[in-house]
Amino acid sequence: MHSNEIKLFYKVIESPVGQLILIANESKLVGIKFDYKKEEELPVNFVKQDIHSILRNTEIQLDDYFRGKRQKFELPLSMSGTDFQKKVWGKLLDIPFGETISYQELAKRVGDKKKARAVGNANGKNPLPIIVPCHRVIAKDGSLGGFGGGLPIKRYLLELEGVVLNSQKQISI
């Protein structure tokens, strides 16, 4: 590891949607990844740290969320991306638990309803899925759209939050 590389800490947890890798710097949560098969594939600046306070608190809050006891996360977050991506991710935090909006509506909230595809791309690069609820954005026709963790996980998260999905619009995977 180079001396100028930022050290990141990680913890692997089990969840109803599979293994999650929680990633933090010294003071903030910076990433959540779905289902890494091998920890050896993680970057060299990642240090396993099961007792890191941010990672432990994230694990507790995610557990509460999956058990239906939490609707909003209270964690210090740091998200690296372009200004546009950060603006999109900030608007995701405004979507209430159990509600969905369309990519076009998200684009409108960001400032240009013609940028639905661009907000979809930013959504797909969200470094903190579940915590920053990109799963709450669906296509205008009611179909799921996309999701970095896969559509079955997106469906699971929405149903966990009580969203009634139009089953005829959903793609079975």
pTM: 0.89
Decide if pLDDT at 83 tops 80.
Answer: yes
Asked if CATH classification 1.10.357.10 holds for the domain at 83-160, the reply, yes or no, is: no
Listed in order, the ranges of the chain carrying CATH 1.10.10.10 are: 83-160
Q: Tell me the backbone φ, ψ of residue 34, rounded to 5 degrees.
A: -90, 130
Q: 76, 64, 79: which is closest to 129 by C-alpha?
A: 79
The residue among 133 and 39 whose pLDDT is bigger is 133
Decide if pLDDT at 11 tops 80.
Answer: yes
Catalytically annotated residue among 79, 134, 137, 144? 134
Cα(116)–Cα(1) distance, rounded to whole angstroms? Answer: 39
Cα(25)–Cα(78) distance, rounded to whole angstroms? Answer: 9
Q: What is the pLDDT of residue 148?
A: 86
Q: Is 141 left (phi over 0), alpha (psi -120 to 50) or beta?
A: alpha
Cα(75)–Cα(97) distance, rounded to whole angstroms? Answer: 16
Average pLDDT on 140-165 reads 92
Listed in order, the ranges of the chain carrying CATH 3.30.160.70 are: 8-66
pLDDT digit string (tens) for 114-147?
999 999 999 999 999 999 999 999 998 888 988 8
Q: For the domain 8-66, what is the CATH code?
A: 3.30.160.70
Cα(40)–Cα(27) distance, rounded to whole angstroms? Answer: 24
Average pLDDT on 49-61 reads 94
**Active-site residue, 134 included:** yes
Q: Tell me the backbone φ, ψ of residue 77, rounded to 5 degrees.
A: -115, 145
